[in-house]
């Protein structure tokens, strides 16, 4: 019999409906897996009591014949950026020590209403600022995968970031699915590094209310799952208009799962020539070429498109995002909640609290953002970056006049070793080179595991869709998933790691 922790959302949903096992049994299996997998450091806070309580409530609903939600009885991890009523919420930062919200974020409330079972709060880069999940106050997260050969052989690998805890939990069998947030690639890049599916919806598709803010015009919640079908199911439960979030789109939530028909004949897929960069890893280029062939074989038309302002995307992003972070993080001052470090005066208390409470990367981004917003530099940096952002969005609009979706690599490399590039912020920022343009344009993007590197590590392909056309996006992604037939899993039984099929 299949282990309960080997099931995905769709298969677990069917098993629960048939009565093959109970939600409580499923929750218990995952609670044991979480305890056994603590070496990955995927969770900041485990909530086994909450999980069992919600699982029993799910079983009671089934027994009584009550309405069953789309995620009823499904055990998930919540990225510790989502406020959860009565449960510690840290954003991976020392400055939120002891912060227990008295309210629930809209996304986590939607998932709870759909019957999801929360196993705990997943680790992340501090305030979601990072691409390797090494900036968390609660320590780095380990990728459950290990390289077989190459320079990283035998070393612990990063899971990507900022949603690295969520990614490691799903890939390592410590959650059936997880929530993530994506500001510049923080769902898609860790999904690529850990061999799972990561979907960033259109900006405004999921409410930001109750999500600890990084960059408000970019942040977007999304699902991290084992399959594209699971992503469709979970997105349907997460999404919806929220009057508490002024950026939440007042549009209906379609049946995303029904959009996965498997028929993509006649669709035109764009291949942006600017993403073929000098010095690109040949393995990444080969996988991209393979993805193109898979979609051709499925009946898609392939068309080269131009996104001419792509080369400015990272520079614009690393002005806009830190500027918004500088404004958002001004609220953490030691007065109302979280950490307070006393001082001789109020100003001293502010400085002491922020100096001790924020880590190096967060301080770096606050300084960059404050500089970009300062008198004399606002027009030169922030306004110019916003203008470039508009040009990038217009590039996508032009391209989407001729194509239905766009195919690119997700990340420029496979997962790298913990500690590698740690002292080189620019090298870290380059991890987001393929994901940032989509975020700046507010478009949906999904990463699908599509192959293994020469060292046996997962590599992902990214599909980018039109605004609020997640249905087409998911259908194309499912076609890639079917063609790739990616079945490798991290070998959790062997400390040397690698893949098992």
Domains of the chain: 4-267+402-500 (3.90.1300.10)
Closest CA to 265 of 404, 408, 468, 461: 404
pLDDT tens for 314-348 read 999 999 999 999 999 999 999 988 999 999 999 99
Q: Which of 22, 105, 152, 186 is catalytic?
A: 186
Specify which residues 79 forms β-bridges with: 122
Under the banding of pLDDT at 50, 70 and 90, the label for residue 500 is: very low
Q: Which of 58, 79, 200, 466 is catalytic?
A: 79
Whether the upstream peptide bond of residue 162 has omega within 30° of 0, thus cis, is: yes
pLDDT tens for 9-28 read 999 999 999 999 999 999 99
Is 498 a residue whose pLDDT tops 50? Answer: no
For the entire predicted model, the pTM comes to 0.96
pLDDT tens for 375-427 read 889 999 999 999 999 999 999 999 999 999 999 999 999 999 998 877 777 77
Spatial separation of the C-alpha atoms in residues 109 and 57, rounded to whole Å: 15
pLDDT tens for 344-372 read 999 999 999 999 999 999 999 999 999 99
The reply to whether 166 belongs to the active site is: no
Q: Which of 152, 162, 248, 453 is catalytic?
A: 162
The reply to whether 79 belongs to the active site is: yes
- Contact criterion met (CB below 8 Å) for 435 and 462: yes
- Contact criterion met (CB below 8 Å) for 267 and 394: no
- Contact criterion met (CB below 8 Å) for 88 and 100: yes
Task: Spell out the residues 6+ positions from residue 106 whose beta carbon is closer than 8 angstroms to its own.
Answer: 206, 207, 209, 210, 242, 244, 245
pLDDT tens for 61-104 read 999 999 999 999 999 999 999 999 999 999 999 999 999 999 99
Cα–Cα distances in angstroms (integers) from residue 438 to residues 30, 380, 391, 458, in the given order: 34, 24, 12, 22
């Amino acid at each position: 019999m299949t282990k309960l922790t080997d099931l995905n959302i769709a298969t677990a949903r069917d098993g629960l409906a048939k009565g093959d096992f109970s939600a409580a049994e499923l929750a218990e299996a995952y609670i044991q897996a979480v305890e056994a997998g603590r070496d990955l450091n995927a969770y900041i806070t485990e909530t086994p009591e909450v999980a069992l309580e919600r699982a029993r409530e799910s079983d009671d609903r089934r027994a009584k014949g009550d309405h069953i939600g789309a995620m009823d009885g499904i055990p998930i991890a919540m990225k510790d950026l989502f406020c959860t009523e009565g449960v510690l919420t840290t954003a991976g930062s020392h400055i939120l020590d002891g912060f227990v919200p008295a309210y629930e974020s809209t996304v986590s409330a939607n998932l709870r209403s759909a019957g999801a079972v929360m196993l705990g709060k997943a680790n992340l880069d501090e305030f979601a600022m990072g691409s390797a999940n090494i900036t968390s106050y609660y320590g780095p997260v380990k990728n459950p995968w290990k390289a077989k050969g190459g320079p990283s052989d035998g070393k612990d690998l990063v899971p990507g970031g900022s949603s690295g805890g969520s990614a490691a939990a799903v890939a390592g069998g410590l959650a059936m699915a997880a929530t993530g947030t994506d500001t510049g690639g923080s769902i898609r890049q860790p999904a690529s590094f850990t061999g799972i599916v990561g979907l960033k919806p259109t900006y405004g598709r999921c409410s930001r209310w109750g999500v600890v803010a990084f960059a408000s015009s970019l942040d977007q919640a999304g699902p991290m799952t084992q399959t594209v079908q699971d992503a469709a199911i979970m997105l349907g439960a997460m999404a919806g208009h929220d009057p508490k979030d002024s950026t939440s789109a007042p549009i209906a939530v379609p049946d995303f799962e029904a959009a996965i028909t498997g028929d993509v004949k006649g669709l035109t897929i764009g291949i942006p020539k600017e993403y073929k960069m000098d010095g690109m890893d040949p393995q990444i280029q080969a996988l991209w070429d393979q993805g193109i062939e898979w979609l051709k074989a499925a009946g898609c038309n392939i068309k080269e498109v131009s996104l001419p302002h792509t080369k400015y995307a990272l520079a614009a992003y690393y002005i806009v995002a830190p500027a918004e972070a500088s404004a958002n993080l001004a609220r953490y001052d030691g007065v109302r909640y979280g950490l307070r470090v006393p001082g001789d005066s109020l100003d001293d208390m502010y400085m002491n609290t922020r100096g001790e409470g924020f880590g190096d990367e967060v301080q770096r981004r606050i300084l960059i953002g404050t500089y970009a917003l300062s008198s004399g530099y606002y027009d030169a940096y922030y306004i110019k970056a916003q203008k470039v952002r508009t040009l990038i969005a217009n590039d996508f609009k032009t391209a989407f006049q001729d194509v239905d979706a766009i195919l690119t690599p997700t990340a420029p490399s496979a997962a790298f070793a913990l500690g590698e590039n740690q002292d080189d912020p620019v090298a870290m920022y380059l991890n987001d080179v393929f994901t940032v343009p989509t975020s700046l344009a507010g478009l949906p993007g999904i990463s699908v595991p599509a192959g293994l590197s020469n060292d046996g590590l997962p590599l992902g392909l990214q599909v980018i869709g039109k605004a609020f056309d997640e249905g087409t996006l998911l259908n194309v992604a499912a076609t890639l998933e079917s063609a790739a037939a990616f079945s490798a899993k991290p070998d959790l039984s062997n400390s040397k790691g690698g893949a098992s099929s």
